[in-house]
Structure 1
Amino acid sequence: MLNNIFVIRFLGFLGLIGISLLFYSILMEVPHSMQEVQLPEAETQVYSVWALPSEEVTGRVKKLMGGLRSEFGGPQFEPHVTVVGAIRLNEVEARDKFQKGCRDVKKYSATVKKVDTGTFFYQCVYLLLDPTTEVVEASARCCSTFGFNSSSPYMPHLSLLYADLTDEEKKKAQEKAYTLDESIGSLSFQITRLALYKTDTEDKSLKSWEKIEEYNLSTN
């Protein structure tokens, strides 16, 4: 009888040791496992910085853009002058760089030289702007903050139509722009705001394009 009790107690003691060793091994493994866990990287998107004209000029240009779309098609978008071209970042980085870049830019003037046409979808028909020092410097300062390097010299412009047209159709659209607004080729306006936009250039419908943040420029 005593032998049975001893055996039972001994087995119970061994069981406690086994359970203790099991918990100890689990606790030892937890830090190791935690070190192996890697947090997912923040999702990146394509962003651009746009210069926005005054409300009055925006309304005038929108009317012209609508007239062109009614005949030549294409998606609707806000009148703007691209300051920083498409660059891939996560949203936190994009917002931070946008705020820093805007602080170095003051309100500035822009003047249209002519209605012109380009060679691809996003530069189908546009208002070519005079590349004055202040226009070019506004872009250069923001591009520097974003670390954006363009493969070609900055060509300031305000797009009127996004579309894939033939050269003949582009010429007709160019002529219609002057018909719809005779003095548009000599328009001068103030750039008073910059905006950060999400602009996936693969999405030609522009349905995924979205304004993320806007900044009112100071005068001094």
Structure 2
Amino acid sequence: MSDWHSIWLQPAAPDLERLEATVNRLAEQFGTPRFAPHLTLVEDMQRTAQDLAGVLDRNFAGETAFSAAVTTIHGLPQFFRSLYAGFEPAGRLKHLKARAVEAFGTGSVDTFMPHISLAYGVTAEQRASVFAALEREFSGETIRFDAVAVISSAQSVPIENWQVVHTLRLG
């Protein structure tokens, strides 16, 4: 296992199932990777899982589950942001990002772009072919987040090797 880790907000079971179905459908359609849907708070830290789990538990204890509305379906040229459901960087999402930046000592609230990827590595043409349907499916919908987790993951770690190593349930 790698010493590279990220911190993710995880969707609650009903929303996770819906998002997984979308990721799997798009992966099948476009031949792109399958992955666990999530919202990244901090990415690519070269620190041990044990260290990060302690920081997570100390700094996020007492946080509660919440819902956030999807405000956009969008895509960018970057592999990991090629097609996603976006959220406003406000409210609880902004609060948890600020807490994560302070606790883990990395990242920026100013550049926070909260999103849940729906596909990795799709082209602009592929994105255009599903954009309208995804907007109908997700725009204005809310996603409930009920956990924060330490994940063995980084841009340098193969997606198929990503795994949850510690989870803190939000009350």
CA displacement at 1:121 relative to structure 2:
0.8
Judge conservation of contact 1:125–1:159 (CA < 8 Å) in 2.
yes
Higher Rg of the two aligned structures? 1
SS at match of 2:47: strand
The 3 A distance-change label for structure 1 pair 107 and 82 is: same
Q: Does 1:201 align with 2:155?
A: yes
User: Structure 1 segments of 4 or more deviating over 4 A?
Assistant: none
Which amino acid is the alignment partner of residue 166 of structure 1? T
Counterpart position of 1:73: 31
Q: 1:59 aligns with which of 7, 14, 17?
A: 17
Which amino acid is the alignment partner of residue 69 of structure 1? A
Judge conservation of contact 2:7–2:40 (CA < 8 Å) in 1.
yes
**Correspondence list, 1:3-82, <5 A:** 45-82=3-40
Counterpart position of 2:168: 215
Give percent identity, aligned residues only.
20
Distance 2:130 2:169 in 1: 33
**Correspondence list, 1:8-157, <5 A:** 45-103=3-61, 105-150=63-108, 153-157=111-115
Bigger share in helix? 1
Counterpart position of 2:145: 191
Alpha-carbon deviations, 1:20-62, whole Å to 9, x = none? xxxxxxxxxxxxxxxxxxxxxxx97211111111111111111
The 3 A distance-change label for structure 1 pair 151 and 87 is: farther
User: Which of 191-200 and 87-96 deviates more?
Assistant: 87-96
Gaps of 5+ in 2: none
SS at match of 2:33: coil
Which amino acid is the alignment partner of residue 81 of structure 1? L
Higher relative contact order (CA 8 A, sep 6+): 2
Distance 1:208 1:65 in 2: 17
CA displacement at 1:87 relative to structure 2:
1.3
The 3 A distance-change label for structure 1 pair 188 and 112 is: same
Counterpart position of 1:22: none
Bigger share in strand? 2
The 3 A distance-change label for structure 1 pair 52 and 113 is: same
CA RMSD, 1 decimal: 2.1
Distance 1:62 1:214 in 2: 19
The 3 A distance-change label for structure 1 pair 54 and 84 is: same
Q: TM-score, normalised by structure 1?
A: 0.71
Residue correspondences, number: 171
